[in-house]
Amino acid sequence: MNVRSRVPATNRALLASSVLTLPSSWAKHIDVAAPATSHAPERDDPERGNPARDFGRDDACPALAFAPLRGTASEVDFGVDAGSLDLASLTEDAFADLAAAVLRHQVVVVRGQEKLSPKDQFELTRRFDPLVRTYGHGNRTEILEQSVLVRDLVSIPEWPQVKLLGNGRVRDHEGIADVELRHPSHRGAHARPLTPEEEARGLTHFYRWHVDAALYELHPPKVTTLLAIKVPEPRTQTIVYDDGTGDTLDAPLGTTAFVSGYQAFESLSPAEQDWALRTKARYAPHPYVWMKNARARSNGLGLKSEGRELARSDLPPFDEEKITTLPLVWVNPMTGRRALQLHAYAVEDLIVDGAPVGDLATCRHMLYAIMRPAIAPSRVYTHPWRDGDLVIFNNRGLWHSVVGSLGPSDLRVYHQCNLASSEPPLGPS
């Protein structure tokens, strides 16, 4: 079944007043003249089918066709497969279709991209936000080298906005002579990592549920592109949540897990939604330095409150005016859907109706309570990577986590690119 991106008529009036700028070539995806009767998200209707999974009724995207991803969990309502595309030579119309699909379906998988160069990956990522060139976490190496990120990412010399990541030894790669990559895992990051015996039984954890963003000085990227050059030999591991629920989830080795921020918000009670809409997150200055000694929950959903964060006096110099405060709810500029969207690890305080909560442990407890339902096993998409897969995902509507307990012989080689945006996320009106 082919898939077509479409925009619900109920949300088009919101698009007309959006403060975010959509490229003019996307106009065919939006009829802003159509009247709007509600901003409520679409719901399943037995007479109409599930609008999140029934993709073929609208012919809004003639240049590209998309198919639903196979094997997704029962409540996963996002993700499409674009097949094989010549991404370096997309026409304006074809790119407009691709960009609309990312906003509508959140995850777009493009196959057969083993030979996509770092330059072409950068240029593709930049087409989603043409005014920018800076890597999503910035280019201040003295800050990155003090942060938790230095463990995971290696810059491609000629295209430093593209990062090499993965697991195992890589030689003579895009100007990098020799590097030992280390797969991010719970071993050095969680308060209670799995034992070697548990890992030998095929158990693993989510690493860190997050969005890609510097959260200091720079706006969060609109999209991330992630290219699998070499995928480990396939085997299944079992993700154990270890949070008292007994939840588990089978997943491919070295998968990337995604959940929907839109579904996270829409699943809240009316009172919880009201609270989220009135609340902003204030992020710590240089948050990835601030958090580097802290330890995470076993399900990867935020940090334990153990007093291990750096004091402000121990951080690199920072400017108070560059500290980031963002709404908890971000609005999709194409569909109008509202997402619960944040990086819980980096939150220093919550601002509710203009007043700070003022206690980090309390903030974390409040966030965990509203975020935990979103990572239920039935709502998590774990991508079964193939060599050459390029995943383009909406960084302003999804949370994601790397997964897996990899050994020294499990070679995993990926290129990642995201760019600090030219504009902040659209908050609720």
At 48 the pLDDT is 27
- Residues contacting 82, CB < 8 A, separation 6+: 64, 66, 98, 101, 108, 109, 110, 111
Burial (CB < 10 A; 0-12, 13-18, 19+), residue 54, is: middle
Lowest model confidence (mean pLDDT) among 49-63, 64-78, 97-111, 332-346: 49-63
- pLDDT exceeds 50 at position 169: yes
Beta bridge partners of 85: none
Q: What single-letter amino acid sits at 344?
A: A
Residue in the structure block whose two tokens are 């339902």: 373
At residue 62, the pLDDT reads: 54
For residues 36 and 88, give the distance between their C-alpha atoms in angstroms, rounded to a whole number. 37
pLDDT tens string 231-242: 999 999 999 999
Widest distance between CA atoms in the chain:
61
Cα distances (angstroms) measured from residue 99 to each of 3, 63, 118, 240: 14, 12, 20, 35
- Please give the residue that has the higher pLDDT: either 62 or 177: 177
Residue with tokens 């890589």: 170
Cα dihedral 13→14→17→22 (10° resolution): -100
The pLDDT assigned to 174 comes to: 97
Q: Where are the alpha helices (DSSP H) in 256-311?
A: 261-266, 270-277, 287-290
- For residue 264, give the DSSP letter: H
Mean of pLDDT over the chain: 87
| pLDDT, tens digit (0-9, with 9 covering 90-100), for 11-42 | 333 333 333 444 444 444 443 333 232 333 33
C-alpha distances in Å from residue 316, one per residue of 155, 193, 287, 291, 349:
22, 29, 11, 13, 19
Q: How far apart are CA 170 and CA 176, in angstroms?
A: 8
The domain over range 9-418 is classified in CATH as 3.60.130.10: yes
pTM of the model: 0.87
**Which residues touch 374 (CB under 8 Å, ≥6 apart)?**
259, 260, 261, 263, 264, 267, 340, 399
Highest-pLDDT range among 26-40, 66-80, 173-187, 265-279: 265-279
Task: Using pLDDT thresholds of 50, 70 and 90, give the confidence band for residue 185.
Answer: confident
Kind and range of the H or E run holding 254:
none
Residues constituting the chain: 429
pLDDT band of residue 389 (cuts 50, 70, 90) is: very high
pLDDT band at 340 (very low <50, low <70, confident <90, very high): very high
Confidence of residue 187 (pLDDT cuts 50, 70, 90): confident
